[in-house]
Every structure is written in structure tokens, then in C-alpha cells.
């Protein structure tokens, strides 16, 4: 314990002497947690709509007003022909072209049917699918409104109807921030913990102090613990700052136990810091450590379930998510913060990540070659 105490004193002094490192560790999560949820927003709005109204009737104008009042579309242009509207798509100034044919009102009132033409710019597949879905739903609602206007009250009562009442569990307001902010906080803790520890032993090699440590009677596990514990402490501090920002900026209050969050955080940091230390034992220069960390963090970012649901991934991708710790922490964060899950709900996640931490740290200890 005496040896470990001196090593920890050395590590904390090195950390607090490096002002640039401290600014990066504490300011980066604050700035990114405020900016990233605002930018990485999957809610599709401001869809550019070009309208070709060949009918220019009361009914066509009501339809256009209903579409624009939804808040999802903004008018790109009223064009006299489909050719002009299609040129707007080619110039990337319109996402959807709505063509209302001549005789729209006449056919709708006399023949009770009318077709509309939608042309969608599908370069961005997500925006095209969501935008056309919005527009189809608005047109369907408009069609129902017209039917109700034409039908007599007695007739309406005679027609059997099915009323669907839906309730949004766990996220009743469908808040995008409530879903994304916990996951982004996990990513920031991973970036800080993994990258900082990956640089640690490499920095010792670079400045030459590793040689001084190698000729001392310090054991390998003392050396690794001396590297691990300071950044574990800083990881807890960064996570706490993230929870405070989520509360103040986004109004997010965990429904579940905050103590359970910190319990899983402690286990998770054991795994991710061990991963960073393992990278540092394989790297000879800071550039190598940065490259390896960047490579793996990108995999964690894209395949951890932060932006895309794991259930939608192919089998080989699901297997990768099962062997990376960040996917478990993102899942646990959303379970505790949004659903209010309890200890027995996340117990298996804790055991799996703890096993990962044991494996990674044991690997790092064995891989660190100390010459006596």
C-alpha cells in the first residue's frame, strides 16, 4: 500500500501540473454535451417542398395550408409546371415535389376520388422516407376531414369506427434529448477515459521516466493500479459533471437509482481504463496510441447502439456489440434514466462488463514488460 500511495501521488501531481490536459478533460465534455445533442438530432424538419398546383381551387389551397401548418415543411417554390419543380430537385433546392392535377376539386367532389403525385429526392434515404411519410399522413388526415364534411351526422353514427388511443411509455413527450443525452454522456466518458489512459504509459516512455521506474522494486500490478486509479477518479468526476449538465440544460432527471448508475459506472471505468492501458502497453509513441484509440473509438461510436438500434444490425455486427463494453453502458443508461430499471434488471450487464474489465486489466498487466 505504501508503494501504491507514492505512485498515486506522482500520477496526480503529473495530471494537475498539465493544465492543457485538465482543460481538455473537463471543458471538452461540457462543450460537447451541450453542442452534440443539438446537432445530432434525428428529428426531420424544414423539408423543402415544391408545389405544382395546376387546379388552383379552394380544396387545393386548403391542402397546401394544412401541409405548411404542420411545421415539418417549408415552401421552396410554387412552380407552374412539373419540369420547373424537377429542376429544383436537381439543384438540391427541393426535397419533395407535390403535383396537384387540374380538376382536383371537381374530381374529388363529383367522382369521390383523385390522385396526387409525389416526387421525392431520395439521395438522403432517411429524409426521403420520413418526409414522404409525413406528407402521406397529412394528406390522409385531409382526406378524412373532407369525408366528415360530406357525411351527414346520422350517417356518421351508423358507420362503425375503430378508435386507437396510444400512450408513449417512458418517454411520453417523445423527447429526442431524453434518448440521446445519456448515450452521448457514455461516449464522452469513454473518450476521456480511453484516450487519456492510452497516452499514459506512452508518455512515460517519451519523457524517459519509464526507465527509472523499471529499475525500482515496483511490481507490475502496483504500476498499473497507479495508472488506473487517478483516471478512474477523473472519469467519475466527468460523469458527475455530465449528469449536472443534463439536469440543468435538458431537464433530464433519472427515474431510477443514481447510486445504481454510479455502481455501473465504476465497473465500466474498470473496463474502459483497462482497455486504454492495454493500448498504451502496445504503443511506443503517442501517435501510435492516438491512432489505435481513434480506430477503436470509431467502432464503439458506430456500433455501440448510440445512433442506430442494435436489433437492426446484421448478425456479425450484433456479435461485435456483445464484446464491446460501451454498448452495455448505453443500454444501462437508458434503462435507468428513462425506464427507471432496478438492480436485477441490469445485473447481467454488470457481470459481463466486470468480466471484460478483469480480462482487459489482466492483459495489460501481463503485457507490460518490466525489466529488473
Q: Per-residue confidence of the chain (372 residues) as pLDDT tens digits? A: 777 777 788 777 877 777 777 777 778 777 888 887 877 666 677 889 999 999 888 888 989 999 988 888 989 889 988 888 888 888 888 889 999 888 888 887 777 677 888 888 888 777 788 888 888 888 888 887 777 666 655 544 555 555 667 777 888 877 888 888 999 899 889 988 888 888 777 777 777 666 666 666 677 777 778 878 888 888 899 899 999 999 999 899 999 999 999 999 999 999 999 898 889 888 888 888 888 888 888 888 888 888 888 888 888 988 989 999 999 999 999 999 999 999 999 999 999 999 999 999 888 888 876 543
- Residue 127 burial class via C-beta count within 10 angstroms: exposed 0-12, middle 13-18, buried 19 and up: middle
* pLDDT for the residue 15: 75
pTM over 0.75: yes
Q: For residue 305, give every residue at least 6 positions away whose Cβ sits within 8 Å of its Cβ, in sequence order, or none.
A: 183, 321, 327, 330, 331
Q: What is the CATH number of domain 47-158?
A: 3.40.1710.10
CA dist 242 and 191 (Å) reads: 13
CB 265 within 8 A of CB 189: yes
* Distance from the first to the final alpha carbon of the chain: 21
Q: What is the residue extent of each domain of the chain?
A: 2-40+173-367, 47-158
Segment (H or E) for 134: helix 125-150
Q: For residue 311, give every residue at least 6 positions away whose Cβ sits within 8 Å of its Cβ, in sequence order, or none.
A: none
Segment (H or E) for 119: strand 117-120
* pLDDT for the residue 121: 87
DSSP state of 335: I
Ramachandran angles phi, psi of 73, nearest 5°: -120, 150
Amino acid at each position: 500500500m505504501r508503494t501504491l500511495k507514492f505512485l498515486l501521488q506522482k500520477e496526480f501531481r503529473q495530471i494537475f501540473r498539465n493544465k492543457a490536459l485538465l482543460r481538455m478533460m473537463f471543458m471538452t465534455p461540457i462543450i460537447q454535451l451541450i453542442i452534440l445533442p443539438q446537432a445530432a438530432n434525428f428529428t426531420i424538419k424544414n423539408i423543402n417542398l415544391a408545389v405544382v398546383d395546376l387546379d388552383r381551387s379552394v380544396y387545393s389551397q386548403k391542402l397546401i395550408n394544412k401541409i405548411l401548418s404542420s411545421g415539418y415543411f417549408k415552401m421552396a417554390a410554387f412552380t407552374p409546371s412539373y419540369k420547373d419543380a424537377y429542376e429544383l430537385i436537381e439543384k438540391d433546392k427541393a426535397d419533395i415535389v407535390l403535383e396537384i392535377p387540374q380538376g382536383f376539386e371537381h374530381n374529388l367532389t363529383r367522382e369521390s376520388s383523385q390522385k396526387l403525385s409525389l416526387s421525392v429526392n431520395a439521395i438522403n434515404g432517411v429524409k426521403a422516407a420520413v418526409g414522404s411519410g409525413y406528407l402521406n399522413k397529412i394528406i390522409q388526415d385531409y382526406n378524412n376531414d373532407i369525408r366528415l364534411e360530406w357525411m351527414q351526422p346520422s350517417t356518421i353514427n351508423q358507420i362503425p369506427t375503430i378508435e386507437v388511443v396510444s400512450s408513449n411509455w417512458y418517454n411520453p413527450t417523445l423527447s429526442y434529448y431524453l434518448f440521446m443525452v445519456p448515450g452521448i454522456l457514455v461516449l464522452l466518458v469513454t473518450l476521456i477515459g480511453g484516450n487519456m489512459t492510452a497516452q499514459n504509459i506512452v508518455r512515460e516512455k517519451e519523457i524517459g521516466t519509464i526507465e527509472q521506474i523499471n529499475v525500482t522494486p515496483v511490481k507490475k500490478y502496483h504500476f498499473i493500479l497507479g495508472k488506473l486509479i487517478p483516471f478512474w477518479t477523473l472519469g467519475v468526476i466527468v460523469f458527475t459533471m455530465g449528469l449536472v449538465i443534463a439536469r440543468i440544460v435538458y431537464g433530464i432527471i433519472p427515474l431510477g437509482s443514481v447510486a445504481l448508475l454510479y455502481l455501473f459506472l465504476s465497473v465500466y471505468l474498470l473496463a474502459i481504463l483497462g482497455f486504454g492501458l492495454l493500448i498504451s502497453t502496445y504503443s511506443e509513441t503517442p501517435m501510435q496510441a492516438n491512432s489505435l484509440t481513434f480506430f477503436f473509438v470509431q467502432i464503439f461510436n458506430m456500433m455501440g447502439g448510440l445512433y442506430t438500434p442494435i436489433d437492426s444490425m446484421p448478425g456479425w455486427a450484433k456479435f461485435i456489440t456483445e464484446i464491446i463494453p460501451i454498448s452495455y453502458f448505453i443500454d444501462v443508461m437508458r434503462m435507468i434514466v428513462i425506464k427507471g430499471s432496478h438492480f436485477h434488471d441490469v445485473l447481467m450487464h454488470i457481470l459481463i462488463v466486470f468480466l471484460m474489465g478483469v480480462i482487459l486489466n489482466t492483459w495489460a498487466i501481463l503485457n507490460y514488460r518490466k525489466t529488473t
